[in-house]
Structure 1
């Protein structure tokens, strides 16, 4: 069991720690950068909470796991990878001005990590608490999903430190999401001399795009959106290949099954064309039922806090889909995720840190200690 000298939440200390993490930089798919970032996160956790943070090796980069000992009862979940390439911090350095902290990753989700750690540091007894900070959330959590699900089942409650909703509210549900890629194979020929000898992959892709877009069921929370297409090599050649990328969001497991089955059943319209489909709804929907109990506790800790379901995905999708109570959006209040204008509202930092601490207290009280 980890006990330590508790410390009141201080915004100046949180900002110093946030600067440290931002300046390390942690782009997904850069194992070297993620190793440095994981070590910085581990050092922060150990410094603020005591004990030892373990680096869990992953193909994408190290994940950071810390336990306060005792019977596991709550998992505080986040990620340290960001979407910005190395060097972004030179162009857009960490700054605090006019009540906003800016810099790559402050909102998604380094600010949430710092707030969670400082909130936990305000508790003298950290038994039953685990912290897991993964290295690959931004690229689908392929190397961390099994670990996330294992620790979620063991703990029985999950607090996800992703950024808050637009109004500062919590995220009580999430759509399932995934990306599909449709590869069309045709046959090249001269577009002027003998176009009939070719099989036009671009025309075939156009047929498929219309069929794919028709899979949307907005009334059921399902959106199927072709987003990127490429075809052809020259303006006088019948294209032999085309690719179409498709963003998919679903509101239920049944819709996930329907859409995945529809992609698997796509068939060519043009004689001689071939279709290969890759992808899946990689993050299952997080139902609002998964957050109901924890959201009630959050409103007990912070009366008036709001919550709503959102379309974006997070690692909370995995834990909520397991039926493990999960509450998301507990991180930074701000906006501009993945964009140059990303920001965090400084005035909300202490309140969010204290919300994490209060939720941990309530969860432990409700589970017998």
Structure 2
């Protein structure tokens, strides 16, 4: 198996890490997309499609005339704001690469491009890199599902789990915002004339926290919270964001129904709920066969045996697995510190993991090509009468 050059991988990762791309800055994302496209054009000898939804830039490469059979999926946006390079500069020291977004998941994008570049036969391969994954993929979900539907495999280049484990099971994600409308009043002179939105939001927070079920792995976590305007005014408005994670769809729906059924506790208060189920769970069954295939290659590459991990974080792989498409996640960089000050990539792991992705992609594409060849041979064996009406082996796009 061909192992990519570590120097080439590092050079391209540095280019992407130095091109900051926070999810909420569409101009920065457009520049990041150009950087990804430039690397991809050099490696693949092909131009990508620039896909813009609600001002957010995504990139897609498709190879062959038929439908996509293998999808390499990633995102080029990060959680890091512009200017983060000043406090977290790109560096490679002692075999550890650092920089904002290096682990989650700019190294993964470079790995995907280099893996695809080594394939002699790319028919049926697609690469899709989105720009809004870190905020829940509100504008790219339809693109992801369109490209994945009908695929034999989706390989997600999200960073690995601890110790390099592949992410074979993920919790589903639901995101809500609870908004409270009260009535303002002077906190000292006539507090009784107000309706305290801060107190009401506290009631709602305590109710939602009670929906968690630790035994079933369901978490319900209030996160960003705000109320009021000044220290001597009864708050007229308050809001809280709520993050819900669950291993199965039934739990997602139980919590969803309960949150939507929330009612005000204080007389005169109003409660409004927005948001809902964002990503379905990625069930372990979606990854079983692909994980076994990956593990069979890992020994030859000197990176095995592989481990399978179940994680609470969601990814775009949740969407593809939710369609029933075989999905293997966590194929990106080995390291740690996603979204944190110690975000890093273990340099020595990059070539082997990239070679693993190449082997997986090649094997699935070859399996599909073999099946189509056998199917054509079977039809031809029935004689020329049937052959004259033989349909195309690949449907047009």
In structure 2, distance between residues paired with 1:233 and 1:58: 35
Task: Report the equivalent of 2:14.
Answer: 19
Give 1:8 deviation, angstroms.
4.8
Give 1:125 deviation, angstroms.
1.6
1:138 to 104, 111, 134: 134
1:283 to 256, 262, 279: 279
Give 1:61 deviation, angstroms.
2.2
Q: Evaluate the alpha carbon distance shift between residue 210 and residue 82 of structure 1 in structure 2; reply closer, same or farther with a 3 A threshold.
A: same
Task: Give the alignment of 1:162-311 within 5 angstroms.
Answer: 162-302=158-298, 303-311=304-312
In structure 1, distance between residues paired with 2:255 and 2:182: 25
Task: Report the equivalent of 1:45.
Answer: 40
Task: Report the equivalent of 2:351.
Answer: 350
Structure 1 position 361 matched with structure 2 position 362: yes
1:61 to 50, 56, 61: 56
Structure 1 position 79 matched with structure 2 position 75: yes
Instruction: Render the CA deviation track for 1:309-367: whole Å, top value 9, x for unaligned.
Output: 10001100100111110000000001111122211000000111011011112212332
Query: Aligned residue pairs: how many?
Result: 364
Task: Report the equivalent of 1:150.
Answer: 146
Q: Residues 3 and 355 of structure 2 are in contact (CA less than 8 Å); yes or no, is this contact kept in structure 1?
A: no
1:10 to 5, 26, 32: 5
In structure 1, distance between residues paired with 2:227 and 2:26: 32
Q: Residues 3 and 352 of structure 2 are in contact (CA less than 8 Å); yes or no, is this contact kept in structure 1?
A: no
In structure 1, distance between residues paired with 2:232 and 2:24: 38
Give 1:228 deviation, angstroms.
2.7
Instruction: Render the CA deviation track for 1:246-300: whole Å, top value 9, x for unaligned.
Output: 1111111111111111111100111111101111121111111111111111111
Q: Residues 3 and 354 of structure 2 are in contact (CA less than 8 Å); yes or no, is this contact kept in structure 1?
A: no
- Determine helix, strand or coil for the equivalent of 2:234: coil
In structure 2, distance between residues paired with 1:104 and 1:164: 17
Q: Residues 216 and 224 of structure 1 are in contact (CA less than 8 Å); yes or no, is this contact kept in structure 2?
A: yes
Task: Report the equivalent of 1:3.
Answer: none
- Determine helix, strand or coil for the equivalent of 1:62: strand
Give 1:179 deviation, angstroms.
2.2
Q: Residues 227 and 247 of structure 1 are in contact (CA less than 8 Å); yes or no, is this contact kept in structure 2?
A: yes
In structure 2, distance between residues paired with 1:179 and 1:288: 23
In structure 1, distance between residues paired with 2:116 and 2:240: 45
In structure 1, distance between residues paired with 2:41 and 2:2: 14
Task: Report the equivalent of 2:28.
Answer: 33
Q: Residues 3 and 351 of structure 2 are in contact (CA less than 8 Å); yes or no, is this contact kept in structure 1?
A: no
Instruction: Render the CA deviation track for 1:183-226: whole Å, top value 9, x for unaligned.
Output: 11111223333222221212212211111101101222211011
Would you identify which runs of 4 or more consecutive aligned residues in structure 1 move more than 4 Å? none
In structure 2, distance between residues paired with 1:267 and 1:8: 59
Gaps of 5+ in 2: 299-303, 371-397
Give 1:83 deviation, angstroms.
1.5
Root mean square deviation of aligned Cα: 1.6
In structure 2, distance between residues paired with 1:12 and 1:48: 14
Give 1:7 deviation, angstroms.
7.3
In structure 2, distance between residues paired with 1:305 and 1:45: 28
Q: Residues 8 and 122 of structure 1 are in contact (CA less than 8 Å); yes or no, is this contact kept in structure 2?
A: no
Whichever of the two has the greater Rg, that structure is 2
Give 1:237 deviation, angstroms.
2.4
Task: Report the equivalent of 2:315.
Answer: 314
Give 1:91 deviation, angstroms.
3.4
In structure 2, distance between residues paired with 1:23 and 1:190: 51
Select between 32-41 and 348-357 the one with higher mean Cα deviation.
32-41
